[in-house]
Amino acid sequence: MQSRCLIVLAVVSLLSLSYFLNAQAVREEASARTALTYARECEKHLGPFPKFRYEDAIEIPITQNGKRVIVTAENIGKNLKSCDKPAAFGAPCQLGNRVGRYQGIKANGSPNPEVVFVTFFRDGGLGVIGHNMKTGATCFLSVQDEFDPKQGLPTPDEPKYNKAWQPPTVVGRDGCVKCHMADPFLHSPWIDQVRDPKNPKEPLVPLIADVDSPYFVIGKEFPTPPGRKPGAIHATIPTHLEGNKCVECHAPQCVPDFFNVKLDELKMSAPFHTMEMETRKQWVKDREAIREYCRSLDIQYFEQESEGE
């Protein structure tokens, strides 16, 4: 009888604890900032948001043996087994992804050449990066999973903005800064196939990863990028990397080998600056020093699976 009472008490205690934790989670979620609140904070640094449109974005080509695969209503979103230029992240050969670019605007409606917004349509969703190239202020945005970005995206001044866009707590949990470490924009042969229509010599996604490029992420929901000092807008170069040729021009960027593209095929910050065939001993040594630095940061790119799962 006594043991049964203890079991009942234990069950009641667990239920009470579960109720308390759930209630606490609800309170924390209720107190979290909305997507609109975050957008207004971003607008203080970036100016008014443009109207993001699916049809404005350019399709990223997928080719096999130099021949482009035509995207149709039947195969859009499909991830092919192989392609000539795989994406660096996610599904490497997914059909129908698109990237777009918008120049910023000022409060009075005039162009703001210091601000750029880049849209990335993939996996049926949309991510947006807004960046002020003069100050370094950066915002990461993402639409709600259940929202179809092809159907029209509300701006902060339009109704239902919170229904279409994820709150910053959700976006921040995706770990944007773990990959967007040196600056807001990552580059690979896949993404750089899309050229800027206004200047075809340049990729549509801006190349700005200089060592002196200012960069910081707006929002308390986003941690400081790995390797940077909290509050710093310029890259933090460790003392033991002084004299390293790579970081004379580029901020250190860490991406593990197990992503879809070899490190030196990526046109990111060092050691990923298109030097796969570079064999000079000093470059090889300096690139390996950057890799060792990256390993020392012990960045957890993905949630660790628990044993038995």
Condensed to tens digits (0 to 9), the pLDDT of residues 17-37 reads: 443 444 344 334 445 899 999
Of 276 and 290, more confident: 290
> Burial of 8 by CB count in 10 Å (0-12 exposed, 13-18 middle, 19+ buried)?
exposed
Q: What is the pLDDT of residue 78?
A: 96
CA distances from 292 to 198, 225, 255, 275, 295 (A): 39, 18, 12, 17, 5
Under DSSP, is residue 214 helix (H, G, I), strand (E, B) or coil? Answer: coil
CA distance 268 to 129: 16
Q: What is the pLDDT of residues 132-163, one digit of tens each?
A: 999 999 999 999 999 999 988 999 999 999 99
CB < 8 Å & 24+ apart, contacts of 153-161: 153/51, 153/52, 153/53, 153/126, 155/48, 155/49, 155/50, 155/51, 156/36, 156/39, 156/40, 156/43, 156/48, 156/49, 157/48, 161/35, 161/36, 161/39
Q: What is the pLDDT of residues 104-125, one digit of tens each?
A: 999 999 999 999 999 999 988 9
For the segment 91-113, the average pLDDT, to the nearest whole number, is: 96
Q: What is the pLDDT of residue 274?
A: 52
CA distance 264 to 261: 8
What are the structure tokens assigned to 187, written together?
């580059």
CA distance 86 to 111: 35
CA distances from 189 to 61, 172, 182, 227, 263 (A): 11, 27, 18, 26, 12
The residues that bridge with 99 in the sheet, in sequence order, are 58, 120
Would the pLDDT of 276 be above 70? no
CA distance 114 to 103: 8
